[in-house]
Amino acid sequence: MKHRLEAFIGVILCIVITTGCWDRVELSDRAFDLAASTDLLEDGSYLTAAQFIIPSRISGGASNGQPYFVETGNGKTLLEAIQKSRQKLSRLITRGHRRNYYIGEDLAKHGIKELLDGFSRDPGNRIRLDIWVVKGSRGMEALQVHYPLEKIPSVASSKIHRAIGGTTSTSYLDFMMASSDEGSSPTLPVVDIVQGASPQKTILFYGRAIFNHDYKLVGYLNFVEGAYRQWILKRISYLDIAEEIPEAGGSVGIIVNSFGSKVKSSILGTNKVKIEIELTGAGHVGENNTNLNLNESQNLKLVQNEINMKTSEHVLEMITKVQKQFGTDVLGFNQIVNRQHPAEWNKIKGHWDTIFPDIEVTVHVNINLKYVGLVGPSLLYKESEIK
């Protein structure tokens, strides 16, 4: 009898904890927001937009139309703009599946403090969300671009970023962490809407948007510059590098797929800091447009040394650009100093914004080319021309 009672109570508990729709909102009464955007208009008002799924058109095989639609709202405040869009929907908005949020360039330059305040107060926003700046355009335009490889085009930007070696589903969290970290400045990934091969426009991953402490856009790092930054921060998994080899009258392209980064800091005196960066990697030759036979060890070493030297220069140029042009620490130098010299950091952290632009930085890149492919010399040269 006792066992029957225990079994009965267990069944009742299972029924209770497996009951769905605790808020009594059925799936048929929900509108699933897959991506959204916010723009600042010329009159100072906000334009919000969201891309909603049409369930009847996405399940199964072929459909009679696109499986999503875009709805907008306009208002003097963000909350008012969102409310205007809600007035056009027959269902309650559910943001649990939202993966991407696009910000127009004008809003990014104006500042996104109000937007982030609303994000942090709304429990419906996912922490694993990617926020993007749309270079030179409105955020809503990114929602309207048709991308042929994806049923829902808003997922394309994240997949492109992942395919070229970047990290996804972290930009919102990274932005908030950098904003709250003493001395750090936040960044966001950037997409550019460009003309494709056909009349249809497409999305291009551009690089990183740099923000100051007031959450205002101050400039961009292009794709390669952004990749160098990610390398320093150990957040990259793939990179193509092509450099001219003057001694061979051509260029060599390599593919790097293994990365390492070591950053050392030194306190030289009052408000004087030195940073030494060692970037390591391993990869292989992707193309050889020189007359060198790269199966010969001395030729491979020549190419490797030239690429390492020039890549070191390019990384240092990126760092100098961040220091002198933007003046915002998006490279994690503050964290390095704090971790390696905690006592000194407590003395200088209040002046970091004035110290950062004048930090002495050295960069050393060491990429090891493990193999050169199926052929050593380029097939474009005759045997007599090969060195």
Whether 4 has a pLDDT exceeding 70, the answer reads: no
**Residues near 343 by beta carbon (within 8 Å), at least 6 away in sequence:** none
Task: Name residue, tokens 């729709």.
Answer: 21
Q: How confident is the model at residue 384 (pLDDT cuts 50, 70, 90)?
A: very low
**Residue 9, pLDDT score:** 62
Whether 141 shows a pLDDT value over 70: the answer reads yes
pTM equals 0.86
Q: How far is CA 97 from the centre of its chain?
A: 19
Question: Quick check: 308 pLDDT over 90?
Answer: yes
Per DSSP (E only), the strands in 58-216 are 68-75, 92-94, 100-104, 130-135, 187-195, 201-211
Q: Which of 284, 285, 264, 283 is nearest to 275 (CA)?
A: 264
Q: Quick one: tokens of 347?
A: 């003395």
Look up residue 166 and give its two tokens. Answer: 């970047």
Q: Report the percentage of the chain scoring pLDDT > 90.
A: 58
Task: Give the mean model confidence (pLDDT) for residues 27-41.
Answer: 86
According to DSSP, residue 238 is labeled -
Handedness of CA 338, 340, 344, 348 (dihedral sign): negative
> Could you give the CA distance from residue 218 to residue 209 in angstroms, rounded to a whole number?
8
Give ∠ CA 133-138-143 in degrees, rounded to 5. 85
Condensed to tens digits (0 to 9), the pLDDT of residues 229-273 reads 999 999 999 999 999 999 888 999 999 999 999 999 999 888 899
Q: At residue 111, does pLDDT exceed 90? A: yes
Separation CA 325–CA 357 (nearest Å) = 9
Rg (CA), the chain: 26
Give, in order, the Cα–Cα distances in Å from 81 to each of 38, 52, 63: 9, 17, 32
Residue 177 tokens, joined: 């962490």
- What lies within 8 Å, CB to CB, of 36 at 6+ separation is 48, 49, 50, 51, 95, 98, 100, 101, 102, 143
All structural domains of the chain: 26-229 (no CATH), 238-387 (3.30.300.210)
Closest CA to 165 of 258, 252, 268: 258
Q: In whole angstroms, what is the distance from residue 167 CA to residue 208 CA?
A: 12
Question: Residues 164-199: pLDDT tens digits?
Answer: 888 888 888 899 899 888 899 999 999 999 987 777
Q: Which residues contact 101 (CB under 8 A, 6 or more apart)?
A: 35, 36, 37, 38, 129, 130, 131, 132, 139, 172
**Residue 379: pLDDT over 60:** no
Q: How many CB atoms lie within 10 A of CB 364?
A: 16
State how far the Cα of 132 lies from the Cα of 175, in Å rounded to an integer. 11
Question: Is pLDDT at 16 greater than 70 in this prediction?
Answer: no
Residue 381 has pLDDT above 70, yes or no: no
